Amino acid sequence: MSNLLTIEDLAEQDIESVVALWRRCGLVREWNDPRADIALARTSPNAAILVARLDGAIVGAVMVGHDGHRGWFYYLGIDPAMQSRGYGRLITEAGEHWLSVRGVAKVMLMVRPDNAAVHAFYESLGYFDQPRTVFAKWLDGRPPTP
Ligand SMILES: CC(C)(COP(=O)(O)OP(=O)(O)OC[C@H]1O[C@@H](n2cnc3c(N)ncnc32)[C@H](O)[C@@H]1OP(=O)(O)O)[C@@H](O)C(=O)NCCC(=O)NCCS
Ligand 1 atom with the shortest distance to the CA of 78: 39
pLDDT at 6: 98
Ligand 1 mean position, distance from CA 118 (Å):
6
Ligand 1 mean position, distance from CA 143 (Å):
33
7: left (phi over 0), alpha (psi -120 to 50) or beta: beta
| C-alpha–C-alpha distance, residues 23 and 18, integer Å | 9
Using DSSP's 3-state secondary structure scheme, residue 53 falls into strand
Going from the C-alpha of 7 to that of each of 33, 36, 83, the distances in angstroms are 24, 22, 16
Cβ neighbours around 95 below 10 Å, total:
23
What is the CB < 6 Å shell around ligand 1? 25-27, 76-78, 83-89, 109, 111, 117-118, 120-121, 124
Going from the C-alpha of 98 to that of each of 7, 14, 50, 116, the distances in angstroms are 11, 19, 9, 27
pLDDT at 1: 58
Using DSSP's 3-state secondary structure scheme, residue 18 falls into helix
The beta strands (E) that lie in the chain are given as 5-9, 47-54, 57-66, 71-78, 107-108
pLDDT average per 10 residues of sequence, the chain (146 residues):
88 98 96 96 98 97 98 98 98 98 98 95 98 96 95
pLDDT at 39: 98
Helix axes 34-43, 15-24, angle to 10 degrees: 130
Cβ neighbours around 52 below 10 Å, total:
24
